Amino acid sequence: MRKNSVLLVIIAMALTLAGCGGESSDASDSAGGTDDALVFTYDGTEIALDADAEGIISALGEPKNYTEEPSCAFEGLDKTYYYGGFYMTTYPSDNGDRVYSIWFADDSVQTADGIKIGDSQEKVEECYGADSASGESAYTLTSGEGRLTVIVEDGAVSSVSYELIVD
């Protein structure tokens, strides 16, 4: 359990710092997908990357936790909302806050394709194909300006995250 907690902290930090000069993985390492695969739905609320966050936050209700910090990639504050099974991070834009990333905290949530933390590597490969692997443990699905990454450790999904690809 401690290993999973440490992994979640590392993923949270990586997603938060991704706009600080980190490079995106090469699209040639990623399998193409549909935009629907990059839309996360929670309690009937669709959460798309780069969507206006105000309506989504209103629909989701009061988060269990909320943090904010100065953005290193944009002018204003990056905000992180925790809703129990997942975290959602927003970034500031001229049109209000927008969805930047979503990452799963536990197995109570799943992708549109039914992938959740704890699922087998075989299930991931059945959904996304073995060719979506970028390395031994990461499966990446890229579509438009977004990316879904599934990390597998010891044959089981340990992390699921959606991230907006920004230049």
Per-residue pLDDT of the chain (167 residues; tens, 9 = 90+): 444 443 433 444 343 333 333 333 333 333 333 357 789 999 999 999 999 999 999 999 999 999 999 988 888 899 999 999 999 999 999 989 999 999 999 999 999 999 999 999 999 999 998 888 887 789 999 988 999 999 999 999 999 999 999 87
CA distance 165 to 167: 7
- Give the strand pairing for 138-143 and 31-32: parallel
**Residues whose CB is less than 8 angstroms from the CB of residue 160 and which lie 6 or more positions away in sequence, other chains included:** 103, 104, 111, 115, 116, 117, 148, 149, 150, 151
Count of domains observed in the chain: 1
Question: What does pTM read for this prediction?
Answer: 0.78
The pLDDT score that the predictor gives to residue 50 is 94
Report pLDDT for 166.
84
pLDDT at 140: 92
Residue 112 CA to residue 144 CA, distance in Å, equals 17
For residue 67, report the phi and psi dihedrals to the nearest 5 degrees: -135, 155
For 105, the domain range is: 2-164
Instruction: Determine the Cα angle at 82 with ends 74 and 153, to 5°.
Output: 95
- DSSP 8-class letter at 36: G
